[in-house]
A and B are shown apart, each in its own frame.
Chain A
């Protein structure tokens, strides 16, 4: 009986060891196996002759299709006359690929060179369990190809754009490199880090989609491509925002829009004047992520903030001075003249059915993507002498109709607490 048990334990151990040996690779083995399939992507400025940025990339077919991040090659996509892209293989060989497609929303680009490696990477969409080992490959800070050990920490929930949370150090220059499971399948593409071992990967399924659409679609100019992708993206997230009633929560005597979608992130704070003359309670919500198009142009973001101000010490005029001062600096300041028009605003008193607000509505257009607008709304309740709530909203990169519907809905969501 004892012998049998010992034998079965031994057998079990042997089985485990052999199955591991069959399907799981060490970092070194993976690195050796895909040595030719992982590359450095270099962007060179034609005028200065020097490289302007670096990233990583990897082949997904032996015919020469390679995947990298869109943000790595954005300069070439936007300014093909001023920049060129080069692929540098592990053996030092250089090639000039074409950019054959990109996915702005998921920050991916597809490159094509004359020929690919014998063993290209395999993009795989199978689900992982939390804690699973992931190896991220890339060329951090131009130090040479490295393998970073880390683990899968699940997909980012509550994110406007789908991402994998990778617990491991992704550094500059590794962008566009593959992240592999233990079997050597690409489960994600390195894209960003928020430091201290918190990295983000683009799920491999978007890479699969990009390769697939590229094989079937008809030719489209860069402009059409950007327009289509941005429009489709705003339709996607605006549908979420417009579909349901906005959740509200109390702020002082009022109710104001709270976390209106899973992808919004809210923070709160309060401030009491040191002699107790007044107090301010703040709430700020932001979608955090936006869509990167160019170094000076990203869009597709929602930001809003509320401030509740109250005083027992100040008289009506002095309170209005405080109220006005707080009102004037309530919106973030972002955007470049090359891509956006000025804001055009209209001011009035608005009774939204519950509260009376001094409201300013502002609109600006996107110069390079017709039909996309940025909406801004700032409003302050004009109800009480010594308290009030102020709100400001910035919604970027949306269609006129979607924006108008949402801003209207937002304004109506500010009500009395009772």
Chain B
């Protein structure tokens, strides 16, 4: 008895539509019922071709004078016989692949949807998810209170400030849940809510802390850079965790996709800000942050020391004046003299 081989019949999309275990050759292929392998394709002849084993033990396909012929893989040229050394055989709108028993296979994939990944965010526990959402709501309420300076009404605050956020978060989570439902057959609504809420909370806390530092050190740019990096990280995690719940792709790949999305969004925002900053503004853009006196971290300068920076400002103004070449004089040849 010959070694067992499997012949796979694939449609135009490459999907296997039929499989046949084969123990002996020659093998006849065609649309007629007397073939070894019956191919249900209107572009295939009743007796289209045969596959035989030659003296060297190789498998070769022979055209039996068919109308549409046989082809090797994606080759465009019609041939009368093809050596089947791994390439699929094309006939009509069908391709036929020979699988030998020793062929190496991919290892089985991890089932991302049903396998619990210990330590990964968000935790698969409804009480924990709800606690995180409540914590975020509490933090928002407290900062809302601290940022208000008229009498604070928490009920009113909830309806005017928090409810719109709740609706937006629910909308976001619902969209992702649909995606997860379609791809991995799991709704995972609360997981998506937890992902978004935890990222927003982290970014919000980070920005609030950075505001204190910016004021405390009377210095914007280093903290602004940190703030940008944190928001890129936050966005990356947001998309990574969301994609993990919606795709079977590997972690590295998902992380790479998330980094690209996060960088693109941050890049576009930065570009927009760059063009905004270049635009003329009739009022000065200065640091408006003010915090309680205890937050000041650096020693105050003397008036003279501070005014030394005026020279620097003058240089910047001169650069802008010189650089743009726009200090064209008033348009006029001159006044006639008496």
Report which A residues bind B (CB closer than 8 A): 77-81, 98-101, 214-223, 225-226, 273, 275, 277-278, 311, 314, 316-325, 327-328, 331-337, 340-353, 356-365, 367-368, 370, 373, 376, 378, 380, 382-385, 400, 404, 407-408, 411-412
Q: Which residue of A lies closest to B291 (CB)?
A: A320
Known: A216-B338, A385-B292. 5 other contacts (CB 8 A): A220-B334, A321-B146, A328-B288, A331-B284, A383-B293
Given contacts A215-B338, A318-B149, A320-B292, contact A78 B330 (CB under 8 A): yes
Query: Is B119 part of the binding interface, using a Cβ–Cβ cutoff of 8 Å?
Result: no
Q: How many residues of B contact A (CB 8 A)?
A: 58
Q: Which of B181-239 contact A (CB under 8 A)?
A: 215, 218, 220
Interface SS majority for chain A: mixed
10 shortest A-B CB distances, which residue pairs?
A: A219-B337, A360-B286, A343-B284, A322-B149, A337-B280, A351-B300, A362-B284, A222-B332, A349-B300, A221-B334
Given contacts A277-B149, A318-B146, A378-B286, contact A346 B313 (CB under 8 A): yes
Binary A-proximity of B317-335 (CB < 8 A = 1, otherwise 0): 1101100001111111111
Given contacts A80-B331, A327-B290, contact A360 B313 (CB under 8 A): no
Q: Which of B251-306 contact A (CB under 8 A)?
A: 280-294, 296, 298-304, 306
Closest chain B CB from A85 CB (angstroms): 13
B146 touches A317 (CB 8 A): yes
Which listed residue, A77, A351, A408, touches B301 by the CB 8 Å rule? A351
A363 touches B148 (CB 8 A): no
Residue of B304, B313, B318 with highest tally of chain A CB at under 10 A = B313
Query: Is B116 part of the binding interface, using a Cβ–Cβ cutoff of 8 Å?
Result: no
Q: Give complex CA distance A324, B240 in Å.
A: 37
Q: Which residue of A lies closest to B309 (CB)?
A: A346
B334 touches A219 (CB 8 A): yes
Binary A-proximity of B12-38 (CB < 8 A = 1, otherwise 0): 000000000000000000000000000
A333 touches B317 (CB 8 A): no
Contacts of A411 in B (CB 8 A): 303
Q: Give complex CA distance A383, B300 in Å.
A: 12
Contacts of A316 in B (CB 8 A): 292, 294
Which listed residue, B151, B286, B328, touches A347 by the CB 8 Å rule? B286
Contacts of A342 in B (CB 8 A): 280-281, 320
Query: Is B77 part of the binding interface, using a Cβ–Cβ cutoff of 8 Å?
Result: no
Which listed residue, A222, A331, A340, A350, touches B300 by the CB 8 Å rule? A350
Q: Which residue of B lies closest to A360 (CB)?
A: B286
Contacts of A363 in B (CB 8 A): 310, 313-314, 316-317
